[in-house]
Chain A
């Protein structure tokens, strides 16, 4: 787990609203709540959140800078009942509220800007699961 990932993980776990949706009670530890890195367990209770580090590059554009630019994808997975869908949307919205244009100190990381990059939803009728996905680009200095 990179610095950006662990910083985001701790930051999200500290939010009681988000953790109430996914089975944690605002405990900033790496074990409570259904917030998984990359792969969820086969029998994970719905809803849950999986996040993936898409890329982690130097944030050099036209000027040399000692910044990091990481892109993280969050998937909120939920069932297909109307209530479950609403919960999935609420989780996605809460993630957006927490991350969108956030700047400041996360744990071990100084985030200049967190920018939402992409948002999409997918559904599979065979497994009756909705996935609400969001990408965020984090520009930070560690």
Chain B
């Protein structure tokens, strides 16, 4: 067993949510808003998490054979979001006004602080909630 075994759903999901919230906050900051009746695009920015179960065969101890892959999604439901983000092919001199990519790029520079910090915190909570499991993982890892 390894430290990665501590990455249970209850540990991972808060870290993913925290990351998504940070990206969303930045995307909202960058999103262009029209002066008149504006804000639809900004309000349409949405986040979600998803979990794909995967079977990788039996693990080393033969007890747990399944694992899950977690992913976070951020996007916008507005049909013109792509045109704002990348520019418009019908109006090539209409400037692209990226708002999602800058947010993701900013997040990439903070991933250690935000996701890493939250993961560390959640793993510490996991240790408190499941002291025997955590001890088993750490001792078994040697």
Residue among B95, B98, B109, B110 with the highest chain A CB neighbour number at 10 A:
B109
- Cβ 8 A contact of B92, one of A40, A55, A71, A120: A40
Contact-residue bracket for chain B: 20 to 34
Q: Judging by beta carbons under 8 Å apart, are B93 and A44 in contact?
A: yes
Q: Judging by beta carbons under 8 Å apart, are B112 and A123 in contact?
A: no
A71 / chain B contacts, CB cutoff of 8 Å? 101-102, 105
A61 to B113, CA, bound (A): 8
Within the complex, the shortest CB–CB distance from A121 to chain B, in Å, comes to 9
- Cβ 8 A contact of B90, one of A39, A57, A58, A127: A127
Q: Judging by beta carbons under 8 Å apart, are A75 and B87 in contact?
A: yes
Question: For the complex, is B3 an interface residue (Cβ under 8 Å from A)?
Answer: no
Question: For the complex, is A50 an interface residue (Cβ under 8 Å from B)?
Answer: yes
- Cβ 8 A contact of B89, one of A41, A54, A123: A123
CB-CB contacts of A54-78 with B at 8 A, as 1s and 0s?
1101111111000001010101010
- Within A68-93, which residues are at the interface with B (CB < 8 Å)? 69, 71, 73, 75, 77
A135 to B112, CA, bound (A): 24
CB-CB contacts of A99-142 with B at 8 A, as 1s and 0s?
00000000000000000000010111011011101010100000
A44 to B94, CA, bound (A): 13
- Cβ 8 A contact of B106, one of A57, A120, A135: A57
Q: Judging by beta carbons under 8 Å apart, are B112 and A55 in contact?
A: no
Question: For the complex, is B68 an interface residue (Cβ under 8 Å from A)?
Answer: no
CB-CB contacts of B59-94 with A at 8 A, as 1s and 0s?
000000000000000000000000000111111111
Question: For the complex, is A52 an interface residue (Cβ under 8 Å from B)?
Answer: yes
Question: For the complex, is B33 an interface residue (Cβ under 8 Å from A)?
Answer: no
Within the complex, the shortest CB–CB distance from A138 to chain B, in Å, comes to 11
Within the complex, the shortest CB–CB distance from B83 to chain A, in Å, comes to 10
Question: For the complex, is A38 an interface residue (Cβ under 8 Å from B)?
Answer: yes
Q: Judging by beta carbons under 8 Å apart, are B89 and A124 in contact?
A: yes
B92 / chain A contacts, CB cutoff of 8 Å? 40, 50, 75, 77, 127, 129, 131
A57 / chain B contacts, CB cutoff of 8 Å? 102, 105-106, 108-109
Interchain residue pairs A-B with the least CB separation, the first 9: A55-B102, A124-B90, A122-B89, A55-B105, A62-B112, A124-B89, A131-B89, A77-B92, A40-B93
Q: Which residues of A are interface residues toward B (Cβ below 8 A)?
A: 38-42, 44, 50, 52, 54-55, 57-63, 69, 71, 73, 75, 77, 120, 122-124, 126-127, 129-131, 133, 135, 137
